[in-house]
Chains A and B, each alone.
Chain A
Amino acid sequence: MHLHKYEKIWLTFGIGSLILFLAILGFTAFAFGHHPPSELATVDSQNLDKDELFSEPGLKQVGENDYQAVLVAQAFGYNPSTLEIPQGATVEFFVTSADVIHSFTIPGTNVNFMVTPGHVNTATHTFDEAGEILVICNEYCGTGHQFMQMRIEVIPQ
């Protein structure tokens, strides 16, 4: 098959930039652990009250400035519906669903992941600024989807 000289240059440049691009993505993923949220732990979505972690949703302090937030998403809200955390705290969120597919999304941050029934999903975020943070569901979950939200109160220190 004949390739024109310009086409060879064009394809070499194009494919070369793709390889470079994928190498950067792969390097950050596997060397720095920057994977998208891909938790593999499972739960019984219809018996969360018997689950070790999700029977008592809420905030737990696990280190000097580190917290674990356990949340259950259910149409059309989250349990608990507010969290209070001190400014500067790093929070690891563990979220699952008691019914349909939802998301746990803090607009304007990288905390934006799907919450599927039967699985746990996670993200970690450090709250550097005080204020009332909005959390929304951005996956259609029924007629009241647009009402699904919660708040994170970041208390100034």
Chain B
Amino acid sequence: MSQSSVAHKLPDKEPETEISPKDKTLSIVHIAIAFVAFLLGVFGGLLQGLVRGGMIELPSWIGYYQILTLHGVLLALVFTTYIIFGFFFAGMSKTHGAFSDGLRKLGWAGFSVLSLGTVIAAVMMLTNQASVLYTFYAPLQAHWLFYVGLALFVVGTWLSGAALLAHYFKWKKANPGQPTPLFGFMTTATIVLWIVASLGVAATVLLQLIPWALGLTDTINIVLSRTLFWYFGHPLVYFWIMPAYMVWYLVIPKVIGGRLFSSSLARLAFVLFLLFSIPVGFHHQLMESGISGFWKYMQTILTFVVVVPSLLTAFSIFATFEQTGREKGGKGLFSWLKKLPWGDVRFFAPFMGMLIFIPAGAGGIINASFQLNSVVHNTLWVVGHFHLTVGTTVLLTFFGMSYWLIPVLTGRRFTKHANRCGMVQTWLWAIGMFFMSGAMHLLGLVGAPRRTAYATYQDHPQALQWFEGIFTSHVTVAIGGVILTAAGILMFYNFIYLTFLAPKGETEFPMTADPIDTPHTPKYLDNWKLWIGIAIALILFAYTIPIYDMIVNAPPGSPPFSNLIK
């Protein structure tokens, strides 16, 4: 049965289409690299926690900030990007049919360029020529090859993104007038967001950093480079969260035995993310000079608008839970909760992610609150915050996805053993994060800085209290880090087990049946020209005048400072 008739007849089950074996290979290679990067990144985090807590000292041949750079790049950039593209290639093949040979080749080309960039950047970091952290703020200067690696990384994602977009629009052209499948719609929103956002980082890397690092230009405009970075840096977090939301919207309803609540609301939420997650980068720059208070406030307003699609998502997901729980006989105000599959890690891991997104989101609102930001800016509070958002909500959702996606791709069975390991993994991760992120939040409130090696500031009482609290202490952070490392190793075992060891067999790719309102999906929601046009208009509104000011009123630029990082 073709997708087009699905929308009309609304069967209870999606047709069981197999993913083409060639697409499976492309997907699993991405996921394998993601998990290797994950394991290395976790060990980096462990070392940081132990050093910062004053428990160990690093040998002289490796630096704290070198490990910090590796930890950030491996987890925030490499793990996320690879697992997201792995998910997209598999899901698009499943829902839109096999990729054509040409598009699959484009996907492999993207993978190759992405991986070449990753390797170049990794060599520079490992040889301590790029200890500039994953935000690489100028005028600290890394080796020029590090920036070339970053540029290749971004170009690789554009090629892979082009393959995914072409596959979606091919389907759209072949099925005129039909609402596009939700998986493709959401993938497209995410990839369009990524491409529009990464133009900013590409601009600073290609036009500012590489010429400057090669010595072709003497100086660099600092505020402009930071602004271009954060134009990219905030939508980057939506590039992580939107695929996680796709698991919540499209996979979880099937796992719990129901169907998604509404197609239109799901599409609307993703469109709002596309529109409002880009013109907001100044909320990362609230505490710096060179940007007027007025434009900071404008972008603060736009920042808060992006809360709306998260409210929509929360409603849709919990409405799906309640609807399903009641269909299964759950009654009363809350007893439908009992009907949810709490012992199934494919549900439980993402659910813990959702639960933790509540305090994580509340913390985010505090961070973005304009004047209030001075209390927490660059303190450990911020680190605690994103270890909840990306480090728990997104990661646990991706883990929950891996338990079925990996065996689907490797032709193995998701066994009871795998489920049990997954449940233990989820609890360990949540408990470890409670200690680590909880202590980080509180340490931040009493002023402990982020991105700083072990320091007691000549035993100043203010700094010593960061080690002496019962819970509010760098030692608690380290203990949480040890628990998280155990959880990380267990997750890597789960990956190895599901890739190489589990018994051969069938595993389901859970995908919700189309919501009942699918045939009534308003046509304008599928109108990409409209949404991309509005997104660009908002970006031009939020950035044109401030960027013009940064260029016209620029102070003399900064020369490089590469000696400070070695």
Contact = CB atoms under 8 A, between A and B. Distances in A.
B298 to A, nearest CB: 10
Interface stretch (A63-71, A83-91, A143-151): A143-151
B542 to A, nearest CB: 15
B555 A113 contact: no
Contacts of A22: 300-301, 304
B287 A134 contact: no
A99 B564 CA distance: 10
Interface residues of A, number: 68
Contact of B287 (A40, A47, A113): A113
A156 interface: no
B311 interface: yes
B25 to A, nearest CB: 40
Contacts of A108: 446-447, 462
A42 interface: yes
B290 interface: yes
A66 B460 CA distance: 27
Contacts of B307: 14, 18
Contacts of B265: 1, 3, 7
Interface string A25-50: 11011100011111111111111000
A117 B558 contact: yes
A140 B451 contact: yes
Given A15-B308, A145-B453, A146-B452, A113 B374 contact: yes
Interface stretch (B39-47, B132-140, B420-428): B132-140
Interface string A9-25: 01100110010011001
Contacts of A34: 371
Contacts, number: 221
Interface in A100-157: 100-101, 103, 105, 107-108, 110-114, 116-123, 132, 134, 136-147, 149
Contacts of B222: 101, 116-118
Contact of A10 (B287, B315, B463, B564): B315
Contacts of B288: 37-38, 113-114, 116, 119, 121
Given A108-B447, A143-B65, A36 B287 contact: yes
Interface string B455-466: 101101011000
A45 B556 contact: yes
Contacts of A1: 264-265, 268, 522
Nearest to A21: B304
A15 to B, nearest CB: 6
Given A25-B371, A136-B457, A112 B377 contact: yes
B447 A37 contact: no
Contact of B564 (A35, A118, A136, A143): A143
B311 A118 contact: no
B375 A37 contact: no
B517 A143 contact: no
A35 B293 contact: yes
Given A4-B319, A11-B312, A107 B446 contact: yes
A28 B452 CA distance: 33
- With most chain A CB atoms within 10 A of its CB, the pick from B140, B446, B566 is B140
Contacts of B319: 4, 6-7
A146 B455 contact: yes
Interface residues of B, number: 74
B520 to A, nearest CB: 8
A59 interface: no
B4 interface: no
A11 B289 contact: no
B561 A107 contact: no
A118 to B, nearest CB: 3
A107 B447 contact: yes
A143 B63 contact: yes
- With most chain B CB atoms within 10 A of its CB, the pick from A37, A123, A140 is A140
B493 interface: no
A121 B377 CA distance: 15
Nearest to A96: B289
Nearest to A13: B311
A124 to B, nearest CB: 12
A18 B262 CA distance: 24
A145 B65 contact: yes
Interface in B526-566: 553-559, 561, 564-566
Contact of A38 (B293, B375, B455): B293
Nearest to B128: A143
B447 A105 contact: yes
Contact of A149 (B268, B457, B564): B457
Contacts of A39: 289-290
B290 A75 contact: no
A103 B139 CA distance: 14
A36 B375 CA distance: 11
A40 B227 CA distance: 15
B386 interface: no
B140 A118 contact: no
Contacts of B315: 6-7, 10-11
Given A10-B311, A36-B286, A118 B457 contact: no
Nearest to A114: B288
B140 A141 contact: yes
A44 to B, nearest CB: 5
B517 A2 contact: yes
26 contacts: A6-B319, A14-B307, A15-B308, A36-B370, A37-B289, A38-B291, A40-B289, A42-B555, A46-B556, A46-B558, A99-B564, A100-B139, A101-B139, A105-B378, A107-B462, A110-B374, A113-B289, A117-B555, A118-B554, A121-B288, A123-B374, A134-B457, A140-B452, A145-B65, A145-B451, A149-B457
Closest 9 CB pairs of A and B: A107-B447, A142-B564, A118-B555, A138-B449, A42-B555, A35-B293, A146-B455, A114-B288, A119-B289
Given A4-B319, A113-B374, 5 more contacts: A7-B315, A40-B290, A113-B287, A139-B451, A149-B457
Interface of A: 1-4, 6-7, 10-11, 14-15, 18, 21-22, 25-26, 28-30, 34-47, 75, 99-101, 103, 105, 107-108, 110-114, 116-123, 132, 134, 136-147, 149
